[in-house]
A = this chain, B = another copy of it.
Amino acid sequence: MSRGNTIPFQRRLAPVDFSERGVENLSIGEYLIQRLMDYGIQDIFGIPGDYILSFYSMLEQSPIRVIGCCSEDNAGFAADAYARITGMGAVCVTYCVGGFKLTNPIAGAYAEKSPVVMITGSPGVRERFNNPLLHHRVRDFRTQLEVFEKICVAGTELNDPLVAFREIDRCLEAAARYKRPVYIEIPRDMVKVVPGAPYEPSISPPQSDHDALAEAVQEAGDLVRRARRPIIIAGVEVHRYGLQDALLQLAEGSGIPIASTMLGKSVVAETHPLYAGLYEGGMGREEVTKFVEDSDLIVLLGTFMTDIDLGIYTANLDPRKCIFATSEQLQIRHHHYHGVLLEDFIHGLAEQRLDPPPRKVPPLPPGWGDDFRLKPEAPITITRLMARLNLELDENTIVIADVGDALFAASELVTHGRTEFISPAYYTSMGFAVPAALGAGVARPHLRTVAIVGDGAFQMNGQELSSIVRLGFNTIVIILDNKGYGTERFLHPGDFNDIHPWAYHKLPEIYGGGTGYEVRTELEFDQALRAAWEDTSAMSIIQVHIALDDVSKALRRLAEKLSKRV
């Protein structure tokens, strides 16, 4: 154990408000900052580099706080988590050597619909004559833009002052509307350029086709009214579009139970009496699977039909009894409505009188509540670790699960609030949790963040704990240490799944802050978790030695499904 000093974390006061100056007096960089603030961004993650330094200096003078990270890819994950919690996130890096490190987190944000604004510097427009080999350049000056056009929903290079403001608005609006990442490149000689032309942002929010909406809501309402055993499956878009209240209004008004997908987990408090559990086909708890698949009407709201959400296609949802509404489509049984917004559809349904017969949701499994009993000398297992952790969760906790059993086992946790369970449950990029915990800490410094991560994932990029120490967050990082890539051991045995062991619990000595614990038994885990929870002054690392063959039931089932395909 070690303990170091930490720097107190305070949001600083705004030194500048660009909006008072009038848009025609703003430079391109200032306008971008103003618009980011308009979308609620108070913090930007990143690393400075020479092609973005002017903009960094401008940010430093702005109300937006710059959160320096150890590496750009981590900054991307932090911005992603921040976006999931606050509605939009941003990351700011230099050209190519910074930007290309964001490919993976931006791809993840695209795949899982997280509105991250990627801001990157680049060589100045006036430096590009004669096509010189400026450092960091790869193929030509547009290469980075062309790469990110593949994995962003909108992208721009602000090389023309006349249209720069409009381009900024177009990209930010696309991020807000589609909940996907966007790419904004500022050549370094454009940051301080004042276009000087009059400009009025004109953004027309999308609207539903009135008649299609009315017909769809009527048809869906009729189906619910005729149903005997309806259920809602709520997905990630309910988080992204902030539709939790509408969902609750619909469920509570009608008494329809709610299940969630893995990516949608914590869309409602899982202690809610209408919450039926996590639906993931053959991977999930049997009673929940049975409850969902026994339903005679399934209203899927904002769900992605991913392989993992569907238990690698072990789900059994008959389209003839499904209503499938997302931001991209509305399908009732086998026909489609065009031009119906997800939010309008949910609100429309919630306003109808729907009174299906009440259904009793499956109870929590034994051992996941007050009936948990410690077996002090027993080696700690993943399942028992989660059951013990579950006792600590409350409305002030954010749980972030990494990939593998960190995710599958954590799916059994009973969350108490909204957007308090965050994971890369579709894109499944290892190493998400620790930098995401930084992002969560910045977004919600007064909540307690718990990151659960495998040892293989931690070795990828766990050094972002350093930033958590620097900012003085009381994050708890639980490292599931099975000396290797545990999920893959089931899929495909081989020496390549073993990794070098680390003394993770000694990392506080490297970073000069926080406390480390090393545990093997249930009692040791109990004591460490208790101490970590009581310590609100700094971060804690709990290194949990688990047996090499210990896995959650969900992972065992998933590994069996996956291994048939490899």
B71 near A488 with CB under 8 A, answer no
Q: In the complex, what distance in Å separates the CA atom of A488 from the CA atom of B306?
A: 44
- Asked if B503 and A50 sit within 8 Å, CB to CB, the answer is no
Chain B residues with CB below 8 A from A503, complex form: 509-510, 512
Which residue of chain B has its CB nearest to the CB of A306?
Answer: B133
Task: Choose from B53, B111, B492 the contact partner of A57 (Cβ within 8 Å).
Answer: B492
Interface residue? A107 (CB, 8 A): yes
Segment at the B interface, from A23-31, A246-254, A350-358, A457-465: A457-465
Stretch at the interface among A209-217, A264-272, A282-290, A466-474: A466-474
A21 at the interface (CB under 8 A from B): no
Binds B, one of A144-152, A154-162, A339-347, A527-535: A144-152
Q: Is A1 an interface residue (CB 8 A)?
A: no
Given A127-B565, A305-B133, also A504-B496 (CB < 8 A): no
Stretch of A97-105, A364-372, A384-392 that contacts chain B: A97-105
The 8 Å CB contact of A304, one of B107, B133, B139, B500, is B133
A138 to B139, CA, bound (A): 24
Which candidate, A34-42, A330-338, A422-430, is the interface stretch facing chain B? A422-430
Complex-state Cα separation, A430 to B313, whole angstroms? 42
A201 at the interface (CB under 8 A from B): no
B150 touches A143 (CB 8 A): yes
Determine if A73 is an interface residue (Cβ-Cβ < 8 Å): yes
Q: How far is the CB of A461 from chain B (nearest CB, A)?
A: 6
Chain B residues near A408 (CB-CB < 8 A): none
Contact assessment for A104 and B111 in the assembled complex, using a CB-CB cutoff below 8 Å:
no
Contact A135-B306, Cβ < 8 Å, known A97-B427, A97-B429: yes
Which residues of chain A from 408 to 443 have any CB-CB distance to chain B below 8 Å in the complex? Answer: 426-431
A316 at the B interface (CB under 8 A): no
Q: Is the CB of A101 within 8 A of B73?
A: yes
Instruction: Indicate if the CB atoms of B488 and A49 lie closer than 8 Å.
Output: yes
CA distance A361 to B133 in the complex (A): 29
A461–B464 alpha-carbon span in the complex (Å): 10
Contact status B70-A459, CB under 8 Å? yes
Interface size bracket, A side: 35 or more
Interface set, chain A 114-148, CB cutoff 8 A to B = 124, 127, 132-139, 143, 146-147
Query: Which single residue of chain B is at the shortest CB-CB distance from A493?
Result: B57
Q: Are A427 and B138 in contact (CB under 8 A)?
A: yes
Question: Chain B residues near A68 (CB, 8 Å)?
Answer: 496, 498-499
Q: Does A308 contact B (CB under 8 A)?
A: yes
With contacts A71-B460, A71-B461, A107-B100 known, is A496 near B60, CB below 8 A?
yes
Q: A49 — which chain B residues lie within 8 A by C-beta?
A: 488
Which residues of B sit under 8 angstroms from A562, Cβ to Cβ?
50
A304: chain B residues within 8 A (beta carbon)? 133
The reply to whether the CB of A491 lies closer than 8 angstroms to some CB of chain B is yes
* A466: chain B residues within 8 A (beta carbon): 459, 500, 502
Chain B residues within 8 Å of A459, by CB: 70-71, 463, 466
Interface: A525 (CB within 8 A): no
- A512 touching B506, Cβ below 8 Å: no
Chain B CB within 8 A of A56 CB: yes
Closest to A513 in B: B500
CB distance from A192 to the nearest CB of B (A): 11
- The residue that A494 contacts in the complex, of B60, B134, B431, B461, with Cβ under 8 A, is B60
Given the known inter-chain contacts A134-B307, A135-B306, please indicate yes or no for A97 contacting B103, CB distance below 8 A: no
Task: Tell me the complex Cα distance, A62–B562, Å.
Answer: 25
Q: Given A496-B56, A510-B504: A48 and B485 within 8 A (CB)?
A: yes
A residues whose Cβ falls under 8 Å from a Cβ of B: 48-50, 53-54, 56-57, 60, 66, 68, 70-71, 73, 96-97, 100-101, 103-104, 107-108, 110-111, 124, 127, 132-139, 143, 146-147, 150-151, 188, 304-308, 313, 426-431, 459-463, 466-467, 469-470, 485, 488, 491-492, 494-504, 506-507, 509-512, 562, 565-566
Q: Could you list 7 A-B pairs, sorted by A, with CB under 8 Å? A: A49-B488, A50-B566, A60-B495, A73-B73, A100-B103, A146-B150, A463-B463
A-B pairs with lowest CB-CB distance, top 7: A53-B492, A103-B103, A100-B104, A133-B306, A97-B429, A470-B500, A71-B460
With A71-B460, A133-B306, A506-B510 already in contact, 13 other A-B pairs whose C-beta atoms are closer than 8 Å: A48-B492, A50-B492, A56-B494, A60-B495, A68-B498, A71-B459, A97-B428, A97-B429, A101-B103, A133-B304, A135-B426, A139-B150, A502-B510
